Amino acid sequence: MYLPRIICSVVVTTTVYFIAISALSADEWPQWRGPNRDGVWNEKGVLDKFSEPQVKLRWRASISSGYSGPTVAEGRVYVTDRVAKPQQTERVLCFDWKTGDQLWNHAYECPYIGVGYNAGPRASVTIDDGLAYALGTMGHLLCLDAARGHVIWKKTPGVDYQIRLPIWGSPLRRWSNTTYALCNSARKTTVALWPWTKRPGRSAGGHWTIVRRTRPR
């Protein structure tokens, strides 16, 4: 699918901004660092400079705090945040890319315990085959219907698996093209793979596979 070219940035504390640049076709940005995870924007006719000092703002939307970058797929923008009061919750938010209207949000209770940098989730939402995958700071793993926000499956730390989080929390490092989630989880600094089937969320292997372990310096 092709989308009109846009520039998107997130102000961590309050607002998502969208700036319209042109109506030319552009790559989607369905995961962290883009379609190929290399941070490369493969577009032709990119502007060297703006024609006016002030670029026209297409829309803005207020959100809470967080560290994750936005992702764009199928005409929708996805981002995560954290609401600290009155109850500590994390949210996965979805907006219409043209209007900025919120299409859905999924919130879940998530007290932050033993982690630093408590502004919010670290991992960008990954979109694949109509599904939205999100990983929260404390290790909540979600698979949502990308269009409607319905929960396809979820895994809750302390219930579905036991992990010891590092102080920086749990970022989603990589999703393969099919079924594997790569997370931080360890007694020391460990990178581990947990294989999942996309639907209905049953594990394909049933155990963590350690692919790298390093001693803290």
φ and ψ of 175, to 5 deg: -115, 135
Statement: residue 22 has pLDDT above 60: no
Count: domains in the chain: 1
* Residue 138 · residue 169 · CB < 8 Å: yes
- Provide the 8-state DSSP code for 198: S
- 193 domain-assigned: no
- 216 domain-assigned: no
Radius of gyration of the chain (CA): 18
* Residue 40 · residue 34 · CB < 8 Å: yes
pLDDT in tens, 59-96: 999 999 999 999 999 999 999 999 999 999 999 999 99
Its domain, for residue 130, covers 3-38+57-161
Residue 18 is part of a domain; what is its CATH number?
Answer: 2.40.10.480
- 136 domain-assigned: yes
Nearest alpha carbon to residue 145 among 124, 133, 129, 131: 131
Give all strands (DSSP E) within 47-96, no chain letters: 57-62, 71-73, 76-83, 89-96
Ranked by mean pLDDT, which of 17-21, 43-47, 175-179 comes out on top?
Answer: 43-47
Q: pTM of the entire structure? A: 0.76
